[in-house]
Amino acid sequence: MKTMLIGNTELIYLKMTKQEITNLAHNKAWSQVEMTTIDIKRVKNEIKNNNIGFLTEEQIQGVLRLHEKDLKVWNFILELIEKSNKNE
């Protein structure tokens, strides 16, 4: 294991195979898909129950659109990783 000292922080460089990196990337993307899905459900529930705090209807709808856009992006990334993995 190779280490390098930068300031007071010691960085450890781990040698990983492409498959290990692919697996880690897949897990991170999958986790983001799951968390974003939870966020969408939460915001929709807040809208349904009129529990939006100090936000206006327009602002909370903007938050919902942002989460939905993020979900599309993370699903796209996840799909690319999975296709990449199948091609190897």
Residue 11 lies in a domain: no
**pLDDT tens, 18-53?**
888 899 999 999 999 999 999 999 999 999 999 999
**Is 8 a domain residue?**
no
Task: Report the pLDDT value the prediction gives residue 85, as an integer from 0 to 100.
Answer: 79
Strands (E), 1-88: 2-6, 9-13
Structural domain of 80? 18-86
| Position 46 in a domain | yes
Task: Indicate the number of domains in the chain.
Answer: 1
The helix-helix angle for 57-86 and 18-48 (nearest 10°) equals: 160
Looking at residue 13, what is its pLDDT? Answer: 64
Cα(80)–Cα(18) distance, rounded to whole angstroms?
15
User: Is the pLDDT at 72 greater than 70, yes or no?
Assistant: yes
**pLDDT of residue 88 exceeding 80:** no
Give the global pTM.
Answer: 0.79
Q: Is 10 left (phi over 0), alpha (psi -120 to 50) or beta?
A: beta
For 21, the 3-state DSSP assignment is: helix
Q: Do 12 and 18 form a contact (C-beta atoms < 8 A)?
A: no
Q: In this structure, is residue 52 part of a structural domain?
A: yes
